[in-house]
């Protein structure tokens, strides 16, 4: 019986290239696709494993597909990427929040558009080089943590639906990054195996979001002006250069001396005020979040844990809701949760992702 036909998202980097190797060895028929979402021809991008940001990486993906003998397509999604991901990125920062564009891109572009293309090209499913796995429990599909816990990317994939997971393959989910490099070398891809990685946002040159906003917000100078630093009691401490220049937890580059280490604890876009506090002020025992989609079923007799950023240790939580069991809502409602212990740096705009026994139960956007 023939294996399904797979549409593979290719970035030109090691992870998607090794995914192609593994899928071919397993007998799948492959079609490669690389999205043109944002062009930024900077040196730092060319030197690193950046993904979808340069013409060079796009052409590298095409060469790799040709070398392995399967068809490859370059699809221009710059306009939809701009209208969805970049627009949200700008709106969130200009509202005083710190967005996570990869989460939205994965859901709307990498899965939403890829599945549409898969249907057009007669592909049964899609595959990517993400480090994640899929598990079935009680008739439901869940994302579950990758074997390489240091590379696990489920935090960025929590918005994916069961329907999307049903047609998804993660060839690298059971591998470590070292093993992936070993596979690349064994197939003659030494340059990929030694290529440096980057955590930068693909469409923000040199990871400078401030310059990006300045260049892409038409009325930036009118909206971003000097404002006041205040403490938690509202006392004015000094002046700052404009609220969008700061993020929660920021300590360096504040341009103010208080005689003790100061951290940004709150950003108010409406008043253009930035609250400063101590490290102790950075801890919170609760937060409010917007539930984007209903949570998947979870066991009430086991702890539910949450992560508020990519590289943090999950902390046990209790979600407060007036409509148990929290599974029937349409999403969009704002809920509260409490942590079993205080957590550092709760940041509006970021994702809070819920896990139980390494299964992703769902998530929301911190309010």
Give the CATH architecture of domain 5-206.
3-Layer(aba) Sandwich (3.40)
Chain segment 95-104, per-residue pLDDT in tens:
999 999 999 9
pLDDT band at 43 (very low <50, low <70, confident <90, very high): very low
Sign for the pseudo-dihedral over CA of 176, 177, 178, 182: positive
pLDDT of residue 184: 96
Is residue 110 within 8 Å of residue 134, measured between CB atoms?
no
Provide the 3-class DSSP secondary structure of residue 320: strand
Task: Estimate the share of the chain in helix, then strand, then coil, as percent rounded to the nearest 5.
Answer: 30, 30, 40
CA angle (149 as vertex; 148, 150 as ends), nearest 5:
90
Within 8 A by CB and 6+ apart from 215, the residues are none
pLDDT of residue 39: 64
Q: Is 105 a catalytic residue?
A: yes
Q: Where do you find CATH 2.40.30.10 in the chain?
A: 283-366
Q: Where do you find CATH 3.40.50.620 in the chain?
A: 5-206
- Three-state SS for 282-319 is HEEEEEEEEECCCCCCCCCCCCEEEECCCCCCCEEEEE
Distance of alpha carbon 158 from alpha carbon 366, whole angstroms: 14
**Is the confidence at residue 322, as pLDDT, over 80?**
no
- Provide CATH code, domain 283-366: 2.40.30.10
Chain segment 134-181, per-residue pLDDT in tens:
999 999 999 999 999 999 999 999 999 999 999 999 999 999 999 999
Residue 295 CA neighbour count, 13 Å, CB half: 29
Is residue 4 within 8 Å of residue 176, measured between CB atoms?
no
Please state the φ and ψ torsions of residue 191, each to the nearest 5 degrees: -65, -35
- Provide CATH code, domain 224-277: 2.30.30.280
Q: Where do you find CATH 2.30.30.280 in the chain?
A: 224-277
Would you call 249 exposed, middle or buried from its count of C-beta atoms within 10 A (0-12, 13-18, 19+)? middle
Across-strand partners of 335? Answer: 289
- How large is the average pLDDT for residues 95-123? 95
pLDDT of residue 260: 93
Catalytic residue among 53, 84, 102, 105: 105
pLDDT band at 198 (very low <50, low <70, confident <90, very high): low
- Cα Dmax for the chain: 72
Distance of alpha carbon 317 from alpha carbon 303, whole angstroms: 8
Q: Is 202 a catalytic residue?
A: yes
pLDDT band at 331 (very low <50, low <70, confident <90, very high): low
pLDDT band at 202 (very low <50, low <70, confident <90, very high): confident
CA angle (51 as vertex; 47, 52 as ends), nearest 5:
115
Within 8 A by CB and 6+ apart from 227, the residues are 239, 240, 242, 243, 271, 272, 273, 274
Taking alpha carbons only, the member of 24, 123, 121, 22 closest to residue 69 is 24
Catalytic residue among 45, 52, 84, 202: 202
């Amino acid at each position: 019986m023939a294996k399904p036909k797979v549409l593979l998202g290719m970035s030109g980097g090691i992870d998607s290239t090794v995914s192609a190797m593994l899928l071919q060895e397993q007998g799948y028929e492959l079609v490669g696709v690389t999205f043109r979402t944002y062009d930024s021809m900077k040196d730092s991008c060319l030197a690193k494993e950046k993904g979808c940001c340069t013409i060079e990486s796009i052409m590298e993906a095409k060469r790799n597909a040709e070398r392995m003998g399967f068809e490859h397509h370059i699809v221009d999604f710059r306009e939809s990427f701009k209208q969805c991901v970049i627009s949200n990125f700008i709106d969130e920062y200009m509202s005083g929040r710190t967005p996570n564009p990869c989460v939205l891109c994965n859901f709307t572009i990498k899965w939403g558009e890829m599945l549409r293309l898969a249907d057009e090209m007669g592909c049964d499913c899609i595959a990517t080089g993400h480090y994640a796995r899929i598990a079935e429990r009680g008739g439901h599909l869940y994302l579950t943590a990758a074997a390489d816990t240091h590379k696990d990317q489920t935090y960025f994939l929590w918005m994916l639906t069961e329907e999307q997971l049903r047609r998804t393959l993660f060839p690298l989910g059971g591998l470590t990054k070292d093993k992936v490099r070993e596979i690349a070398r064994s197939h003659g891809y030494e340059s990929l195996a030694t290529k440096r990685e980057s955590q930068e946002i693909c469409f923000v040159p040199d990871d400078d979001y401030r310059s990006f906003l300045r260049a892409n917000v038409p009325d930036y100078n009118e909206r971003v002006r000097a404002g006041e630093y205040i403490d938690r009691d509202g006392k004015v401490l000094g002046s700052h250069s404009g609220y969008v220049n700061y993020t929660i937890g920021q300590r360096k580059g504040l341009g103010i001396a208080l005689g003790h280490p100061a951290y940004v604890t709150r950003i108010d876009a409406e008043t253009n005020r930035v609250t400063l506090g101590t490290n102790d002020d950075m801890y919170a025992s609760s937060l409010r979040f917007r539930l984007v989609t209903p949570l998947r079923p979870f066991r009430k007799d086991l702890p539910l844990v949450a992560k508020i950023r990519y590289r943090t240790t999950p902390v046990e939580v209790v979600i407060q809701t007036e409509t148990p069991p929290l599974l029937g809502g349409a999403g969009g409602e704002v809920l509260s949760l409490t942590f079993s212990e205080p957590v550092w740096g709760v940041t509006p705009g970021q994702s809070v992702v819920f896990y139980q026994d390494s299964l992703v139960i769902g998530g929301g956007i911190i309010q």
